[in-house]
Each structure stands twice: as C-alpha cells, then as structure tokens.
Amino acid sequence: MKRAPTLNDVAELAKVSRSLASLVFQDSPKVSDQSRKAVLKAAEKLGYQPNESARRLKSTHTKSIGVVLTDIHNPYYAYLFYGVESASSDSDYKILIGNSGFLSDELNQRPQIMKSRQIESIKNIRSQMIDGLICSSLRTTPDELRAASRNLPLVIIGHTPSNLITDFDVVATDEAFAAYLVVDHLTSYGHKKIVHISGGTDDGPAYRSKAFVAEMRKRKLSASARVLEGHWSQEAGYDCTEEILKSTDRPTAIYAANDLIAMGVLAKLKEQGLRVPEDISVIGYDDSQFAQLHLTNLTSVKESLFEMGRLGFELLTTRLEGKRGTNSPQLLRIKPDLIVRTSTGPVSKKSK
C-alpha cells in the first residue's frame, strides 16, 4: 500500500525546512512568496493534504464563522445572509462576511474570473482563523473547494452545482417543486406557449431551466416550451424579450429566472406598448422587493431565503459542535411558495 505523503516529503521536495513548510500551511505572513509557491507546488505534486483537523484540535476555537457571498448587491444574497446573521444572534458565534465582488450581470459573462474570485474570497476569509464556512452559489470543483477551504467544515446555500452536492452540506431550493408551481399556475390560466429566460448555463440556473422543461413535458407541452439563455440581470430580461417579440410564434407567458430579469422583461413590454397581463403574462423568481412594488405587482416564486440561511448556520454549527450523528454530507431542499399578483392572468382571446 502506497504511503501517504508527509510534511517532511513536501519540505524535502521544495528544498525548505520542515518548520518553514509548516508555516506555509498555517498561512503565516513570515513566509516569502517564493518559498510559499515552492511548498504549495510540492504539496500539489505529491498529493499532500495537511492534517487540518489535528492542527485545529491543538488550537482554541475562535467561535467565528466566515460567510462568502457571490454578489452582495443582489437582494437574493442579502436575504440569505440575513438568515445566517439572525440565527447567529442567538449564539456565541461571530460572523465574518466576504464578497466575491461581482455585479449580477457579470456572472455569466466571465465565469472563469468569477470562480477565481470566489476561491480567492474563501482563502482570504479563511485566513481570519475561522471555525467554519458558509458559501453561496459556488462555481468550482470539489477538489478546488477543498484546497481553498483547507477542509474546514463548509455549508453551501443557494444555487449549487451537482458536482458539489454529494461532497458538502447543502441547503437549496426544491427547483422541481418551483417549476410545478409556475407551470401549474400558468396552465390554469390557459397558457401553453411559455418561454423561460434562464440565469445562464452554469449548473445552478441550468437546473432551474431543466426543471421547467421537465414539468412542461409532464403536461405534454414540451413542444411549446422554450428556454432562452440569459444571466441574472435586468439587461438580460430586456434583451431576451426583444428577441421574443421578434418571433412569429409569440408566447403568451414569460417565466423569468429571477425578479431582476423580470424587471427587464416588463420594461421592454411597456416600451412596446404591450399590457401585462392582458397581452402577455410575466412571472418572476425570488419575490424580491422589486416584485412587491405597487407599480410592478409581479407574480413570483418566493424562496425561503431567510430559512435557507438559518438552516445553513444550524447545519454548520451542529457539525462544528459534534452534534451530527453522521459525517455524511447532508442535502436539504426547501419547498418554495408562489406569490400571485397581477402580472399573470388568463390568455388573451387574440392569442387563442
């Protein structure tokens, strides 16, 4: 059986002392960039994983938890954080917040840079001597995430790629049930031609799109189901609606992947003199403050973002405190609600 690489092996390959190699894995500022790169390169080549749990057992827990958000400007992530923060207020854990620094409309335009910033944010907040991590909407691989988090206990909340679900604790929305709510509501008004404007091609938004198509297929409406690739922004909703209106086979309803997209949809429809819902119905997702505005009155899927944040905190702290009966990753899918307002209604008689 092949022997697992040790810290001595790493130090020898990197041509540094064992104590210096140890300082690298403690994120010590005393190490030069050249030595740090040499040690990390050697560790990667050998497949060395520092015994983080053993090192932490020797140290005092800080009672601090890091929360890394994808886009602090987006209300979606603000509500998730509010749930985490509210849960922490009844505990003795402190919350440190990090932001990947991207605006919503950049997420799908520069996915590789997005991933890089997320990894960098995790590394930065990890250096603050935290006990565990809560991260939102990650775009990374399990190996990259383990390397960045140094195997700290970690919970992912929100949109989650399928390749992470089996490796980490996850709290996410039940997208299949959300699709059921949307399609059931629209078809009850007689809609069959429905277009979904997605949040992009990444695993998270793609899962929402697939759930929509699957629900339409169940109702034998797959031939009239259409998905347009967008991204999480008002601009995407505006541009995709412009494309939709050019079609000779115009849909009777538009299902937007979030409320920001729906705002763009509404803006374009108003610009073209089309009435909502008399000429076309619009439905959003998130039930943000935009949906609740009197002038918007947007029918929207309401995710339990506050509850997801709260549950994420509880999952992490129960693991940190050894109260979990199993070490296996846990997946919690939370059922959303549909908040019906005036942006959806019966199919126009002209469209029948």
CATH at 257: 3.40.50.2300
* 199 & 260 share domain: yes
- Position with higher pLDDT, 43 vs 26: 43
pLDDT digits (tens, 9 = 90+) for 319-333: 888 876 667 889 999
What phi, psi does 197 have (nearest 5°)? -95, 115
Asked whether residue 55 is domain-assigned, the answer is: no
* 201 & 153 share domain: no
Segment 306-323 shows an average pLDDT of 91
Q: What is the pTM of this model?
A: 0.74
* 264 & 217 share domain: yes
* 15 & 160 share domain: no
* 199 & 184 share domain: yes
* 77 & 163 share domain: yes
* 297 & 321 share domain: no
Look at residue 74 in the predicted model and tell me its pLDDT.
75
* 216 & 316 share domain: no
The number of distinct structural domains making up the chain is: 3
- pLDDT averaged over the chain? 85
Look at residue 57 in the predicted model and tell me its pLDDT.
46
Asked whether residue 122 is domain-assigned, the answer is: yes
Segment 188-201 shows an average pLDDT of 94
pLDDT reading at 289 higher than 90? no
E strand intervals along 198-260: 225-228, 253-256
Asked whether residue 24 is domain-assigned, the answer is: yes
Q: Would you place residue 36 in the very low, low, confident or very high pLDDT band (cuts 50, 70, 90)?
A: confident
CA dist 304 → 85, 161, 286, 287 (Å): 15, 19, 9, 10
Of all residues in the chain, the percent with pLDDT exceeding 70 is 89
* 206 & 185 share domain: yes
Asked whether residue 2 is domain-assigned, the answer is: no
Asked whether residue 316 is domain-assigned, the answer is: yes
pLDDT digits (tens, 9 = 90+) for 125-161: 887 888 999 998 777 777 878 777 777 888 999 877 6
- Position with higher pLDDT, 126 vs 260: 260
Look at residue 195 in the predicted model and tell me its pLDDT.
97
Beta-ladder partners of 302: 337
* 159 & 99 share domain: yes
- Position with higher pLDDT, 165 vs 155: 155
Look at residue 2 in the predicted model and tell me its pLDDT.
65
pLDDT reading at 58 higher than 60? no
pLDDT reading at 35 higher than 80? yes
Asked whether residue 1 is domain-assigned, the answer is: no
Look at residue 326 in the predicted model and tell me its pLDDT.
64
Q: What is the domain range of residue 232? A: 175-302+338-351
Asked whether residue 147 is domain-assigned, the answer is: yes
Asked whether residue 57 is domain-assigned, the answer is: no
- Position with higher pLDDT, 141 vs 259: 259
pLDDT reading at 55 higher than 60? no
* 163 & 28 share domain: no
Name the pairing type of β-strands 253-256 and 281-285: parallel
CB-based contacts of 292-296 (< 8 A; 24+ apart in sequence)? 296/263, 296/266, 296/343
* 330 & 344 share domain: no
Q: Specify the CATH number for the domain of residue 42.
A: 1.10.260.40
